[in-house]
Amino acid sequence: MHLTLEEHIDLQPHNTFHLPCTARYFLRIHHITQLPPLIHSPLFQSHPHLILGSGSNILFATPEYDSIVLKNEIPGIEPISSTTPAHTTLKVSSGVLWTSLVDYCLTHQLGGIENLALIPGTVGAAPVQNVGAYGVEIASVVDSVEVVDLRTGETRVVSNQECEFGYRDSIFKRGGRGGEWFITAVRITLTNAGHGYVPNTMYGSVRETLEQDMGIDIDRVSIQDVAKAVCRLRRRKLPDPQVLGNAGSFFVNPLLQGQMSEESFVQRHPGVLVFRRGDGRMVVPAGELIEACGWKGWRASCTGVYEAHALILVNYGGAKGKEVLELAGRISDSVWDWFGIRLRTEITIILGQ
């Protein structure tokens, strides 16, 4: 398939932070067949590369990016099997928007990802972060991930176990071999909602929205009801990136481990919320730590911390990536000084070369 290479492309329209950055080379990937000739080209072998989806989880902290940006636009959602009368497996191309996949599942009465409604980004990016929200992670529905090795051009299928999913983590995020794989498709197995499927309403705010705001009997809730409740919650707490530049949660909620045990943390900071994940490990909401340090609603010129959610850093217009990164560093330092916890960024940060 023909490769159309663009040069000196402004990436501001391609990232939800709306930060300026010029890519030396830019290539839209519409089909897997474009990858082998690209991989063996002298240009690709002599330049670093970046795989970009919808740019909803990235911070360009440099005005110039002397690399090849591969814009993933591979389309398609294909039902490939009904493993049982109650389950359906889909092969979803990696360039599909995550919200489009959720809409597809709601239309076709397929349950399992309705709690992940309104999450920005592409399907290909979802397993990298092991995206999760309101009690559900994508790891719970992934069968396998199809990839092309950008070092050799070989294709392979990575099983759920081989993905090494963790909390906002996977083998694809850690660099090494996983960092050299271009995800081309994700296979997920969902439950047909008409076969006794019970949506996950265990998350407190979801249940409260369903019962109190929407007046829905929790015993008769549908996947559409849950998706609507989640959308209400997300719109209430998170800014629309089309209106206010942001990349969602900037930091990962830290786990309490090692010397910082649950007991010692609660004794030292009794006013800070701590909750237990499904695997039993204790987590502190990073937004609570940031808010306790006085950052919520803070603003300086073009950058700041969102007034309704301290975990969201925003671009009020005209900000540079370096300014957002400096703000993030100041926030992280203050959390460390006050709580003895080092925050880890959830988003990908692109620095100058």
pLDDT digits (tens, 9 = 90+) for 12-32: 999 999 999 999 999 999 999
As a whole number of Å, the CA-based R_g of the chain is 21
> Which DSSP symbol is given to 106?
H
95-134 pLDDT, tens digit each: 999 999 999 999 999 999 999 999 999 999 999 999 999 9
Sequence ranges of the chain with CATH classification 3.30.465.10: 77-237
Its CATH class, for the domain covering 5-72, is: alpha beta
With contact defined as beta carbons under 8 Å apart, do 321 and 19 qualify?
yes
Catalytic sites, residue numbers: 168, 249, 346
Contact 112, 188 (CB under 8 A): yes
In degrees, rounded to 5, the angle at the alpha carbon of residue 140 between the alpha carbons of residues 281 and 58 is: 80
Q: Where in the chain is the domain with CATH 3.90.78.10?
A: 245-350
> What is the residue-averaged pLDDT of the chain?
92
Does domain 245-350 bear CATH number 3.90.78.10? Answer: yes
pTM strictly above 0.85: yes
The CATH number of the domain covering residues in 77-237 = 3.30.465.10
